[in-house]
Amino acid sequence: MTKRPGGAAVAESFATQLLRWARTHGRTGLPWQPPPGSLADPYRVWVSEIMLQQTQVQSVRGYFQRFTDRFPSLGSLAKADLQEVLAVWSGLGYYARARNLHRAAQQIEAAWGGRFSDRAEDWQRLPGVGRSTAAAIVSICFGQREAILDANVRRVLARQVMAQEPWGSAALDQRLWQEAEQRLPLRRQDMPRYTQAMMDLGATVCLSRSADCAACPVVGFCQAHAAGRVADFPVPRAKAPRPSRKAFWLLVVYQNQLGLWQRPPEGIWGGLWTPWDIPAAEPWPQGSEPLTMLRHGFTHFTLEVEVRLISPQTKAGMLSLQRQSRGHGQTLEFRPLVDFLALGLPAPVRRLLASSGLAG
Catalytic residues, by residue number, are 49
Residue type, 345: L
Nearest to 332 by CA among 312, 343, 347, 318: 318
Q: Which residues, including other chains, have CB under 8 Å from residue 131's CB and lie 6 or more apart?
A: 120, 124, 149
Q: Read out DSSP for 2-52? A: PPPPPTHHHHHHHHHHHHHHHHHHS----TTSPPTTSPP-HHHHHHHHHHT
151-161 and 191-204 are packed helices; what angle lies between their axes, rounded to 10 degrees? Answer: 80
CB contact at 8 A, 235 and 166 = yes
Q: 3-state DSSP call for residue 97?
A: helix
Sign, CA dihedral 67-69-70-71, equals positive
